[in-house]
Amino acid sequence: MFKNYLKVAMRNIRKQKMHSIILVLGLAVGIALFLLVFLYVHHEFGYDKFNENYDRIYRIGNHEVNRAYMAPAIGEEVDEVVPEIEKVARFAFRGSYLIQYTPPDQSP
């Protein structure tokens, strides 16, 4: 039975080449786009999963320019106004590092 289906499919592919090419290309593009969207969503939901309290981490950002840059006083103000906040941390890219660690027994 499967052999018969395969024969009929191959005959239709040979008979209608352009239609078959369009269908195969459409399927390939659809699968590629699905994989790209899946990888993007997986990457976006993967932030901060290394931390055991990842569900309690929030980020303040400016959605108008799609950046996380905010004025320095925002952290202090949010810490004072919102009582549920336990800690506030600010960090920025400076050169080639994100955060630099200096051991306590050494001074910079």
Q: Are 8 and 38 in the same domain?
A: yes
Cβ(101)–Cβ(93) under 8 Å? no
Same domain, 79 and 60: yes
User: Which has the closest alpha carbon to 87: 57, 51, 49, 52?
Assistant: 57
User: Is the domain of 59 the same as that of 86?
Assistant: yes
Please give the Cα distance from 68 to 52 (Å, whole number). Answer: 23
Q: What percent of the chain has pLDDT over 90?
A: 39
Give the chain's domain count: 2
Within-domain flag for 96: no
Could you tell me if residue 102 is inside a domain? Answer: no
Q: Does 97 map to a domain?
A: no
pLDDT (mean) for 65-69: 64
N- to C-terminal Cα separation, the chain: 77
37 shares its domain with 62: no
Q: What is the pLDDT of residues 69-102, one digit of tens each?
A: 667 777 788 888 888 888 887 766 555 555 555 6
Segments forming the whole domain that contains residue 10: 2-44
Task: Look at residue 100 and tell me if it is in a domain.
Answer: no
What percent of the chain shows pLDDT beyond 70? 73
Is residue 99 situated within a structural domain?
no
My answer on whether 19 and 38 are in the same domain is yes
